[in-house]
Structure formats: C-alpha cells, structure tokens
A and B are shown apart, each in its own frame.
Chain A
Amino acid sequence: MNSAAIRVDLQLIADMVDPSTRALDVGCGDGSLLAYLVNFKQVDARGMELSQAGVNACVANGLSVIQGDADADLGDYPDDAFDYVILSQTLQATREPRKVLQQMLRVGKRAIVSFPNFAHWQVRLRMVFGGRMPETPSLPYKWYDTPNIHLCSIDDFRALCADMGVVIERAIVLDRNSKPINLPPLAANLLGEQAVFMLRRD
C-alpha cells in the first residue's frame, strides 16, 4: 500500500489533487488511490465502495472507507464537505449519472470524473462493421453482464456539463496506454479511450 506506483489514470487524478486537502473517492475499489493521497499528499481522504470485501480490505489497510454507492449515499453528506469528490471509472455504472454529478458538486468544491469513451474508434468499428456490442480493453464486458448502463462519449459528457452549467476546469484525454494525448475535440472524441475531467460549480 505504501508503494508509489498506482495505475496511470489514478496517478493523473492524484496529480489534480492539491496536498493537505479533503477528498472523497466514490467507488474506491481496493483503495490504491486513497492510500496514495493519504501517504504522499497528506490528504484527508475517505472512500466509499460498493463491495463489502473491498471495504474491509481498505479498512484493514488503515483507510477510512464505508460501504455505499454513488446513487444512494452521496446525499448523506453536507454541502462543501470535501475539496474534491472523485469518481473514477464508475459514472457509467450509476443509475442516474446527472444526479450523481450534481451531488458530487454539492458535496465537493470540485469533482474529478474519469470514464471510458464510448465514441472511441474501436467501439465505433465494432458497432458499425461488426454489428456487435463493443468489447474493448476499457469496456471488457458482454452486453448481458456489463455494469455499464450509462455509457457516454467525451462529447456527450461535455454536452451534459454545458447543460448543467458546470465549469470544466481541466479535461485530459487518454490513449489506450492511459497516456494523455493532446488533440482537438473532434479527434479526441475519436481517438481517446478514456477521459478525466475536473469540474466545479459555476
């Protein structure tokens, strides 16, 4: 847990978080981002995780984590409880992504959201020419067992932010190796496999 090496996309998120702040990681999984924030950035970091086994493992590693999910449990927290609310690779699995984003931006001064891009060229090819539901490294599920019920493209997400009146402070598009790529929006929506957004209220 004290190792400095975490997944590249999580490292990108961690780099967006200022030291000695307060953060809530929703869907924190095995707690690797939380542990990094606590150990290397002195962040007062808390986690929420759907799987009880994941929660217990996090707590056994000294992290502050509770069982809960983004749709149901963000409503408990008071306004501005955190500097950042982080939702990594989970937005597409929520029942009501728009409400979840609203809650994140109520509870946190900023929201950091990462998600797979459903308009990536591989997805498009498989859909258009294969005639099958897409399966890619970042979308590895069959249509009948996927937890991803609200997939979107990078442009879809930008449109939602505009519609909600949310300010996009930063947007980073990642290639298949989770390396940031610098491209104009149209190309980004075609070539980006995932994206990380930092948002704040207007």
Chain B
Amino acid sequence: MEGTIGSLPLDDLADAERKALGQCQHAILGGDRPLRLDCGVDLGPYRVAYQTSGTLNAEKSNAVLICHALTGDQFVAERHPVTGKDGWWDAMVGPGKVIDPAHYYIICANVLGGCMGTTGPLASDPAGGKPWNLRFPVVTIADMVRAQAALLDHLGIADLFCVIGGSMGGMQVLEWASSFPRRVFAAVPIACAARHSAQNIAFHEVGRQAIMADPEWKGGDYRLHGTVPARGLAVARMTAHITYLSEQALQRKFGRSLQDRNALGFGFDADFQVESYLRYQGSTFVERFDANSYLYITRAMDYFDLAGAHGGVLANAFRGSPTRFCLVSFTSDWLFPTHESRDVVHALNAVAANVSFVEIESDKGHDAFLLEEPEMFRTLAGFLKGAATVRGLRGVP
C-alpha cells in the first residue's frame, strides 16, 4: 500500500466511539506532516483520543505516559463512558495510588487502530465517506508509538518522566525506549516481551479466524450492512481470556462448579460456571469493542519483533540508552512468561543499561498486572521514587 490517506469526519462514528470522544480530549494530527506507517502508507490527518489527569509542572518534567493493552483504552482510572465500569488500571493509577495525579501529569491515548476515538478501521475514508474497514492500512506497535510521540509534540512535552504499560502496553514501552531514548527517562514494561511468540500469534490467529468466520462479518464491511459479527468477536475474546488467566486461577475460581443447576444438563447449555463466565466475558466485550479493530491490533502485536527490527540483536535496540528500566513479570503468566522479560534484561545488560527486574509471585496469570498485587505496587513505587529523585522531581513520596 502506498500514498496518503487520512480521515477525520466526526459525523460518522460508531456509537461507542462517539460516547468515548464526548468524555475525553482528542487531537487532530498529521495534517501537514503525515505519519509514515511501517507498511509504507502516509496517514494524515488522523485523530488521537486521549485522557489526562494531574498537572504538568513548570519544568514539564513530570509527564507519565500510560500505554494500554490490546483491549484497553484511554480511560485508565475513570468511569468508562461506554461500559460504566471503573478504569482498567484503577488499581495502579489515581489519588493515593502508585501513579498519583498529585505528582504526575498522566497521559493515556487510545492506540492507532483502536476503536475508542483514535483513527482506526472504523474511521471514514474522506473520499468516499465510508468506513475504511479492511482497507485501513495495517499498523504496527512502532506506528502506535509514533502517533503517541506526535501527540506529545502537540502537547508541547519534550520528554517523559516515565512510560509504563503491561502486555501490548509493555511492547509500546520497549518500542518507546528504543525509538525515542532521549524522550524516556524511565521505562516500565510489565508482563510483555520484545517479540510475539509463535504460541501467542497462534492464539491471535484463532481469534481472528473466529471473527472472519462469522457470516455477519461480511468481509469486514459489517457496518455497511448494518450487522455486527458479535459471535465471532465473542469467541475471539473467550479464547483470549483463557490465556490471560492461569490454570490455578481458573481452578480456584470455578473448579467444576455448575451454573444455576444441581446436576449436569446432558446438553450444550453452559452447565459449568466457567462456561457461563466465558460467555459473559464474550458478550460484554462486543458491546465495547470493534471486530475489525481487534483484527488490526492483534496483528500489530504479532508483527512486533524488536530484535528483528535491529539486525536480529535485541541489544542493538537499546545501545547507548540513557533510560532507567524496571521490568516486571509474574510467576504464573504463561502468555508472557518470565523468560521473555529476562531476555530483555539480558539485552539491556549487554549494553550496560540501567535496569531493574522483578518477578512477582502471583497465581493470577497474565491479568495479574491489572489486579491488586501489593508487591508490584511496592516495587514500582520504590522504582519511581528512585527515578524521581534522580530526575529532581519534588514531592514524590
């Protein structure tokens, strides 16, 4: 794909997107200087929907960028305008929390390709006025990060005190530190990897095939047909959700408990609580997420390979890095197991970068990074305090 594309019209938005944009800020970027995507397409103008909290200090030295995961969005710590639920990282971000708006200027932007207001496959082609759908260019983690960097330019923020995120958010953190080392004082990649493994690509492919096998998907043009590939997207979510939990967590939570019945039903209803739970996860997901967006964002994760982008040597991605790193992994995370984080640590050591690495004992699987994990909070609070001292940020407790 080549050439320049762009799209902005605010009048052709999906309902969820319209609600989201009503509750956050957005910037129109790339109007005069389009974003050169990894696939070769120039994107511009494009919209980035974002949310901020806290106050930027006079030195502009306290900005913290939070990068969200596959199905996250800019609503980190506030009530979600579509679901009405608490922010996805309520445990970590907010007054009195590790990332406290009293000390930091906190920014979180919906990723490129997303469906909460930032330009993605839902956006319209200005020429035809129709949604791009599958004609939207495939974006990468690096493209997402470039769009975030353009947002920072727009906000007049030269460098970040910290970039932090888990899972795909962690991939963005690694990309940030690699692409813009001088703009990142501290980097906290959590429960992630420098490349997507074969197993993880495989799970994503199952999810995408489920979406594309749904007759309502209509080759990606479901919005033009007034349909929603809800079943396919729900199955994709159900599959993915299993990978976010550990075997122990599933067993502890559900075991073989039956759902609203005392005996097996000898049929294919949700006999077991775990089935009912997964169906619920699937059905609520389709109310807030777009199927095509799911295809694009999972693809971006699959394409992520930081070593591959640096001659096959991961250390080359970080050579000369001035950034202070703190990596975090969880013992029961089998989606991004500890050894993936350790590979990044080895690469950072190979260039004598400043790196801390903690593995947190938890049986909650990959999702642990979103949950109440006191040891993670304790270590990250200590890391941020140490970094703040070196940065000369005042008032960080």
Interface positions of A (Cβ within 8 A of B): 44, 46, 52, 55-56, 58-67, 73, 76-78, 81-82
Contact = CB atoms under 8 A, between A and B. Distances in A.
Nearest to B361: A52
Contacts of B387: 62
A-side interface mostly: mixed
A56 B375 contact: yes
B368 interface: no
B351 interface: yes
7 contacts: A52-B359, A62-B387, A64-B324, A73-B346, A73-B349, A77-B350, A78-B351
Contacts of B352: 77-78, 81-82
Contacts of A73: 346, 349
Interface string B374-390: 01001101110111010
B254 interface: no
B383 A62 contact: yes
- Shortest beta-carbon contacts, A-B, top 4: A62-B386, A60-B382, A81-B352, A76-B349
Given A60-B378, A62-B386, A67 B354 contact: no
A59 B88 CA distance: 25
Interface residues of B, number: 26
Contact of B382 (A44, A59, A67, A78): A59
B244 interface: no
A67 B349 contact: no
A63 B350 contact: no
B358 interface: yes
A52 B356 contact: no
Contacts of B360: 56
B357 interface: yes
B132 to A, nearest CB: 44
Contacts of B361: 52
Contact of A44 (B345, B354, B358): B354
Query: Which of A55, A58, A66, A81 has the most CB atoms of chain B within a 10 A radius of its CB?
Result: A66
A66 B354 contact: no
Given A44-B354, A55-B357, A56-B375, A63 B386 contact: yes
B32 to A, nearest CB: 41
A78 B350 contact: yes
A59 B383 contact: yes
Query: Which of B324, B354, B379 has the most CB atoms of chain A within a 10 A radius of its CB?
Result: B379
Contacts of B346: 73, 76
A62 B354 contact: no
A62 B389 contact: yes
A56 B350 contact: no
A66 B379 contact: no
A76 B344 CA distance: 11
A55 B361 CA distance: 13
Nearest to A66: B357
Given A76-B350, A77-B349, A78-B350, A64 B355 contact: yes
B357 A67 contact: yes
Given A78-B350, A78-B351, A65 B356 contact: yes
Given A59-B383, A60-B382, A62-B386, A52 B358 contact: yes
Contacts of A56: 358, 360, 375, 378-379
Interface string B328-369: 000000000000000001100111101111111100000000
A81 B349 CA distance: 9
B232 to A, nearest CB: 41
A62 B386 CA distance: 4
A135 B369 CA distance: 45
A59 B385 contact: no
Given A59-B382, A76-B349, 7 more contacts: A44-B354, A59-B383, A62-B383, A66-B357, A67-B359, A76-B350, A78-B352
